[in-house]
Structure 1
Amino acid sequence: MNSAFIGIKLEMNLREEACPQVVITGLTTDHCVETTTRMVGNLGFNPILVSDATATFERVGPDGTRSSAELIQQTSLANLHVMNSLKLCRLRIVLIVYDDWK
């Protein structure tokens, strides 16, 4: 499948829960992630793509030219950047440590 919406009731569930925003992560950025992100916007939701929680792979073109995973990733993010409703963000992990043993 090249979209998280194919074959499951994701759209119906999001609407039932009145979710205005959908956070998107996963593999592969230039395929499944990009298609899902576009569908989220097309269906009227606000897509939030966590860019550093996505990844892709090196590709070899028909002429044998290799394109690095980094180039493919940046190109895919640039393609998605033109969507008016898309918000790109980076993952922030906050670690909270409690000092309970004192």
Structure 2
Amino acid sequence: MGRDGTIKRAQELIQRPVSVIETYHNGALPQINSFLSVDKDNVIVGAMKNSEDGDDLIIRLYETSKVATDATITLPQWGRTIKTTFGPCEIKTFRVSKDASVPVCEVNMIEW
């Protein structure tokens, strides 16, 4: 979080939670699941979307405390983990292929 958590708290207020009401049913997925997690509070996920030119996943994150930070981003459903270091206030964008044999790569903001 920012030094006092302002940035994270502001995002929590601005972005309303999305709730999906679902009943119990047979299926392969658990009733509760996480699509993505970040192990540091001062690293915020700013965007997550499909790539412009395929089925890859684009994830954009940024550091909010003005502190260099080692972070781990986990995508359990894709079986992928990204370990990276953020500089103070750094923005990073990653391209993640569904094919686990293709390494995760850092790209610029226009996905190159």
TM-score bracket, normalised by the shorter chain, equals under 0.3
Using structure 2 for the length normalisation, give the TM-score.
0.24
Greater RCO (Cα-Cα under 8 Å, separation 6 or more): 1
User: More helix per residue: 1 or 2?
Assistant: 1
